[in-house]
Amino acid sequence: MGQLFVAIALALALFAATSHAETELERGRYLVETLAACGNCHTPKGPNGPVPSKKFAGGDVIKHADFTAVTPNITPDPETGIGRWTDHQIFRAIREGRRPDGSLLGPAMPSRSYRNLADEDVKAMIAYLRSVPPVYNVITAKSHYDQPLPPNWGPPVGRIEAPSKEDIVAYGAYLAGPLARCMDCHTERKPGEAIKLGAGGKEFHGPWGISVSADLTPSGLGEWSEAEIEQAIRTGVARDGHKLFPPMPFAAYRNMAADDMAALIAYLRSLPAIE
């Protein structure tokens, strides 16, 4: 009788875990809407912020010292979006930075970071993008780059699996790297100079003026508490109460899961201080 009770209890526990497991579509929604914050670039903005009727429909203009990028429509509209693209073509665009015609996607698409996305996460993102409402949005403006794009963003990528969440620092590095791309914005890369990961100093130009990314290493956040770091990420309010500037997508990050936030902060705490 005792063995039967244990077997039933285990079966019920397994059923409960399975019934609450995150589906691929739910995972994709969380990645696209929150961690990757795809709408931060792919949803055009008006005077009052993102235009709800054109969510993910592209047309936003991103200005940089070396380029002016116009974001594409990533809704499943067959005429102006990615509705006619196969899953493989979307996967290749995200992972390799290649369009179906073989041409290279330029910045601000973070192709160098996305090369390290786990296969299952890319598939989940594709599943969610397939599910969003198609939006017809003709974009006539073109991206312009002062320097020619490279032949590719690196060699072909094999299968990639996400780090285990049990290794909190490694998983935090995955969040800060290819998923939320904290290191993309908070690392200034200058030719001939050593890369100072997470040290900030990168400039961003927009309607708000000029913002400079902060130092995320212990040199910059060493006196901040975990709660203060979380507040800054979720709400865009610094420990001294001043409002932080875009392009950091606070509206998306406010929905970050608690365990992901803890892993992200643990990773930031592990970075070496910058002298």
Q: Could you tell me the residue ranges of all domains in the chain?
A: 19-162, 165-275
pTM score of the predicted model: 0.89
Residue 20 has a pLDDT of: 52
Nearby residues of 149 by Cβ (< 8 Å), 6 or more positions away: 104, 106
State the Cα–Cα distance between residues 25 and 34, nearest whole angstrom. Answer: 14
Report the distance separating Cα 170 and Cα 274, nearest Å: 20
Mean pLDDT split into 10-residue runs, the chain, 275 residues = 45 43 94 97 89 96 89 98 98 97 95 96 99 98 93 92 97 97 90 87 84 94 97 96 92 97 98 88
Q: What is residue 262's predicted lDDT score, i.e. its pLDDT? A: 98
Architecture of domain 165-275: Orthogonal Bundle (1.10)
The pLDDT of residue 205:
81
Question: What is the rounded CA–CA span in Å between residue 159 and residue 18?
Answer: 26
Q: Locate tokens 């590095």: which residue?
A: 173
Strands 209-212 and 144-145: unpaired
Q: Give the whole-angstrom CA distance, residue 248 versus residue 214.
A: 11
CB 82 within 8 A of CB 129: yes
Q: What is the pLDDT of residue 18?
A: 41
Closest CA to 173 of 38, 270, 30, 274: 270
Tokens describing residue 28: 């994709």
- DSSP letter at 54 equals G
DSSP assigned state of 67: E
Identify residue 40 by its one-letter amino acid code: N
CA 186, distance to chain mean position in Å, is 13
Amino acid at 50: P
CA angle 149/209/184 to nearest 5° reads: 40
Count the residues in the chain: 275
Cis amide prior to 118 (ω within 30 degrees)? no
Rounded Cα distance between 133 and 78, Å, is 11
In this structure, what token pair is assigned to residue 261?
Answer: 């936030």
Cα 87–Cα 31–Cα 149 angle in degrees, nearest 5 = 65
- Hunting for tokens 């997470």 — which residue is that? 198
